[in-house]
Amino acid sequence: MPESCAGRKRDPIGRLLSSKRQDHGRHAMPSHPEVRRARLPEPYGLPKDSPTLSWESVEARFKAALHYWICTADTEGTPLARPIDAVWLDGALYFGGHEDARWQRNLRANPRACVTLEDAENVVILEGVVEHFVPEEAFALAMGDAANEKYEFGGNAAELYRAGACRFRPTVGHAWTLLYK
């Protein structure tokens, strides 16, 4: 791990306490996408002085969301959008899915993806990369606990994650709100 990534911390629910991530068995990446004001074509009516949404507010919306839409593409570029259940921890979105599902096959061939929430008036769209990985035991338990709390699965969700999971790490974010008012 680069020296500049050492010693950075997060709280137990995954909120950033610094500008770098913990490693959980992967290479460290920047803590979040760069935050910039949205740039939309003028006819869309976004005021030039509209505020920039903070990364913390974007992250809070991703953490609170019940469902997400993941957009993938196959090797020929054919797009596919699917709803998924997931949990936001440690600055990333974690989820499972059967390896034979079309969107999972797409991600193995092309790990770039886009994930968005269901709200069309308070838009959050994140672009990034998905990794398939086998989590360390403590992190499998954290993912399982978060999934059980969020979705009330009632079972041992950590067991599913122990076999392997997907981690979406955002590199670019787009968010805006109040466009229709």
In a domain, 162, yes or no: yes
In a domain, 169, yes or no: yes
Percent of the chain with pLDDT over 90: 45
Distance between CA atoms of residues 124 and 67, nearest Å: 13
In degrees rounded to 5, what are phi and psi of residue 38? -60, 145
Residue, of 175 and 72, whose pLDDT is higher:
72
Distance between CA atoms of residues 87 and 85, nearest Å: 7
pLDDT at 30: 56
In a domain, 11, yes or no: no
Domain that holds residue 140: 50-177
Question: Quick one: which of 106, 81, 109, 83 has its CA closest to 95?
Answer: 83
- Name the least confident of 12-21, 86-95, 123-132: 12-21
- Domain total for the chain? 1
In a domain, 17, yes or no: no
Residues 10-26 have a mean pLDDT of 35
pLDDT at 22: 41
Strand partners, 83: 69
Distance between CA atoms of residues 23 and 167, nearest Å: 12
Q: What's the CATH code of the domain at 120?
A: 2.30.110.10
User: How many C-beta neighbours within 10 Å does residue 140 have?
Assistant: 21
pLDDT at 27: 44
Q: Residue 91 above 70 pLDDT?
A: yes
Residues 74-89 have a mean pLDDT of 95
Q: Residue 3 above 60 pLDDT?
A: no
In a domain, 173, yes or no: yes
In a domain, 38, yes or no: no
Distance between CA atoms of residues 129 and 127, nearest Å: 7
Taking CA 47 as the corner, what is the angle to CA 46 and CA 49, rounded to the nearest 5 degrees?
130
Question: Quick one: which of 31, 110, 107, 118 has its CA closest to 83?
Answer: 118
- Name the least confident of 8-12, 82-86, 98-102, 149-153: 8-12
In a domain, 8, yes or no: no
In a domain, 34, yes or no: no
